Amino acid sequence: MARKKLLKKRPHRKIGAPPGTLVHVGEPSQEPITFDVVTYDAEHFSEVTFGVREVDRCCGFAKARGVSWVNINGIHAVEHIETLGACFGLHPLVLEDILNSDHRPKLEDYGDYLFLVLKIPFYEKEGGFRVEQVSLILGPTFVLSFQEKSGPIFDAVRDRLRSGKVRGRAMGPDYLAYALIDVVVDRYFTTLESIGDDIEDLEQELFAVPGTNTLESIHNFKREMIQLRKSVWPLRELIGSLQRGDSKLVDETTRVFLRDVYDHTVQVVDTVETFRDIISGMLDLYLSGISYRTNEVMKVLTITATIFIPLTFLAGIYGMNFEYMPELAWHWAYFGLLGLMLILAMGMLVFFRIKRWL
């Protein structure tokens, strides 16, 4: 099973810089940044996509009627993220955290808006496991979402808003933020389902013909579970704080839905812990299997050596160059000695079988 290296060193150029310094920390990208803007209310819906040079057009949605959702694909262009932050009145420390893709999930209340950091897991059988960061800004009339790379992760939410057949169009930006969080949590279920299928395959391989690749796969899964645990435990705390908090930006109606997604997060945590226990057991089973096979080999070698010790003793006696050995003058001495050796070997095998050493 080919896997990418899980623990990578990301470029970090902020050492010694003062707080609020805007520097992109993460994987470098040449992909152009785009801004997907959706505005809607109970009766109207519109969407448009801007290029990176049109970032100023996003400023008009800061106080637009209805709900505005600005999704930013890419966070590596620092100056454009800074411009967008100025339009929506974001604190420099918030912009600093958005540009740093190494943050753990968290929730911060800045009064006029809420800042959330989430982690989205991605898993491919050949490509392995990776995590991308998504930052959300929940304001009184808008939601900003920052993705490291463009992707279809939030397309289902856009499709529901386009259809106009769900309650989302009639509710505020807090419900939109809930919908985005729910998509992220659902992604954990999808990822864990794929990992669970591969763990089952690995279990079959473990009982069939385990090798060094099996051990490598077990260690890869173990690291992936650590990464998942580091992402989902803070996510549970984040959703719990959002649900129980007293922010006026989150309506009581939305808190009911947040309780539901909190329960889903608890299920994800339980599944991650279960998989960790299974993988730890697989590692113990692999080591026990290696030890058992080694003991089997040593047992065969020991039994073989034990059988040949008395035979070697007899051969050594009659290999000595003494002149007076009465048996040497006997006509059947050679065949008698071979017969004695055979009887000794068979007798020892029978003895080992009685002792259940074979």
> What domains sit in the chain, N to C, each tagged with a CATH number?
34-288 (3.30.460.20), 299-354 (1.20.58.340)
Would you say 70 and 144 are in contact if contact means Cβ atoms under 8 Å apart?
A: yes
45 burial via Cβ count (<10 Å: 0-12, 13-18, 19+): middle
State pLDDT tens for residues 156-188.
Answer: 999 888 887 656 788 899 999 999 999 999 999
pLDDT of 332: 78
pLDDT of 9: 47
pLDDT of 139: 93
- Quote the CA–CA distance of 173 and 180 in Å, as a whole number: 11
C-alpha pair distances (Å), 84 with each of 70, 91, 121, 154, 301: 10, 11, 27, 20, 74
Low-confidence ranges of the chain (pLDDT < 70): 1-18, 20, 127, 165-167, 320-324, 328, 357-358
